[in-house]
Structure 1
């Protein structure tokens, strides 16, 4: 059995990290190492982790100064020795067959990345999120977790999580996808439990939502540096459609001053690079609401967009 490395970034998680640790300890796949990266926590995260892992030499605690999620993941990767790699967020937990199912799926299909379904876990309900194959489906939710990777994908291609930015997964998964040559397979079981936080960036406005611009551009620069931009032009264009024209405009709608000028500026940002974005084939794979929304956007019906988002923004799930 090949060794699997797990990197778990932790910041002020004294109340939740214990459940995460237990879910890793109970894995049916036993040849793993788990690196818990304490990103400068100010609570009892250190004590909770050390108490819970002291009887398991597969688990290691490391500490660093606070630098954010990307910094913690990158730091954790400095300690890994496994042929395969997973990420788990410390406020989430996984099913006991998480590693086994992802590993078997990856080996049996000769994949570079395997992906599983996941549950969004709310206080009073759980929503199943299925994952479909193909870039247009996978890039809609480019989380680092719910996936297993060949470690070489990161190391051979010098891929790290962009530090100091929001949407770091958006600046990472597309690079991994492009370098995997589409060798990705899916486990059709919800093995990852994603705990929902109502104050997360998905549901609020902050000026850092515009970090998405930087994440999109770092993917484009990476593709050009590796001479694969033309091959992945449509996929890179689609990232702009979904994560900027839909995602960033949607998140902007939570600010009180949201108006047609906000939309115009965002559309201009995309159209300068991709004037024919409205013809992207990925749009045809979106739900009807988004198709109508994007058609209105292309026709410059910005007042209608403002109305739609002000009316439905609490009913729409972007990522």
Structure 2
């Protein structure tokens, strides 16, 4: 009888600096009935050797060496080799709590759940933030359709997910995941997690969500793309994801609800990747989503994450704003153009016209705004993002997306 209850799949590419910690955290699990499948996706560094060396020391480890094919192809290769009844995915530059597998499995068995979801930790530059789901509990099929799916991609607050996209804070049933994963095109290289999670959710009958944080997600400076060379390629890739989600969710969601959810999701991803300012080729104009700001405004940018970096990079090319200062509570050495990251205590109201908080998450925006107000920053200068649905739909159409969210590259 097969005693393997969980197959843990780790896609690996170019992360030799972090891989050891990831593998060690899995081998030290309190839960024993699992196999560890390390998928070397043609990694050009020492990762292949690290995988082989660990496999010699522990019989639970399987190693797959394959030509580079991207994240989805690595996850598919791992699933093909899996023999566990349940599947967990872990990214090779992250690590997990000692009770990660034990907790996920007990949640699944106790609730006969197709999907188990937990909280996680976000580690950035040595600082750790705890992130917990806002909707813990058990959901049967009726509640999944009425309470989870209708808010999964966009929960009504721009732009916050009702269900996190990540696959690594979840436990899947292998038999159900096999019906989903192989349908996801390998061409989807943006939002791979969302493609898996939301299409899997559409087939789930029982879901359990726990607040317990068990996974350590490492946010790395070198993993953030700082400039977009060709927006059309980005739009095309985003269109593949959005069209796939529409095709998989159109049988379980009302058309208006589904279109609204995907519209806001697409808009949020375009904003982050474009650095906020979006060029409308048809009209030869810029769409500026930051309310009240104008071309030439003296601006402070708060956040050195992906969105903040893209704002700085885009402005370096366009010169749309006069960026006076770049700040973050996670102060660290980072430079784009002439701007380096400064602590939030370094700004004064007299220096700038407006302050942009570079986040699409309303909860984060609210908490950061409160911190700034405590520091004496004029709240009237802290701007919001334009979230008017009619404006967003017009923008998306003008850029070149059709009603099925496919981008016309021509």
Question: What is the TM-score with the length of structure 1 in the denominator?
Answer: 0.76
Does structure 2 conserve the Cα–Cα contact (< 8 Å) formed by 1:216 and 1:239?
no
Deviates more, 1:194-203 or 1:24-33: 194-203
Higher strand share: 2
Structure 1, unpaired ranges of 5+: 265-284, 303-319
Question: 2:193 aligned to 156, 164, 169, which one?
Answer: 169
Residues 1:26 and 1:136: Cα distance change in structure 2 (over 3 Å) = farther
RMSD: 3.2
Partners of 1:120 and 1:193 within 8 A in 2: yes
Following superposition of structure 1 onto structure 2, how do residues 96-135 of structure 1 map, counting pairs within 5 Å?
Answer: 96-133=98-135, 134-135=148-149
The corresponding residue for 1:276 is none
Of the three residues 230, 236, 243, the one matched with 2:265 is: 243
- 1:79-228 matched pairs, under 5 angstroms: 79-133=81-135, 134-135=148-149, 138-139=152-153, 140=161, 141-157=164-180, 159-164=182-187, 165-181=189-205, 183-200=206-223, 205=228, 207=231, 208-210=233-235, 211-224=237-250, 228=251
Deviations 1:103-127 (A, max 9, x none): 1111112211001111110113111
CA distance in 1, matches of 2:219, 2:365: 24
| Conservation of the 8 A alpha-carbon contact between 1:92 and 1:193 | yes
Report the CA distance between 1:167 and its aligned residue. 1.4
Q: Note the C-alpha offset of 1:52.
A: 2.2
Tell me the TM-score normalized by structure 2. Answer: 0.60
Task: Report the Cα distance in structure 2 between the residues aligned to 1:138 and 1:204, rounded to whole angstroms.
Answer: 29
TM-aligned CA deviation for residue 203 of structure 1: 6.3
- Give the structure 2 partner of residue 268 of structure 1: none
Residue of 361, 385, 410 corresponding to 1:293: 385
Which whole-Å CA distance do the structure 2 matches of 1:84 and 1:93 have between them? 19
| Structure with greater Cα Rg | 2
Moved more, 241-250 or 136-145: 136-145
Residues 35 and 61 in structure 1, CA contact (< 8 A), matched pair in contact too: yes
> How many residues are paired up?
277
Contact 2:76 2:182 in 1 (8 A): no
Counterpart contact for 1:161–1:169, Cα < 8 Å:
no
Q: SS at the partner of 2:39?
A: strand
Q: Which runs of 5+ in 2 are unaligned?
A: 136-147, 154-160, 289-360, 367-383, 395-410
What is the alpha-carbon distance in structure 2 between the residues aligned to residue 238 and residue 286 of structure 1?
Answer: 17
Cα deviations by residue, 1:34-63 (Å, 9 ceiling, x for unpaired)? 110001011111111222232211111110
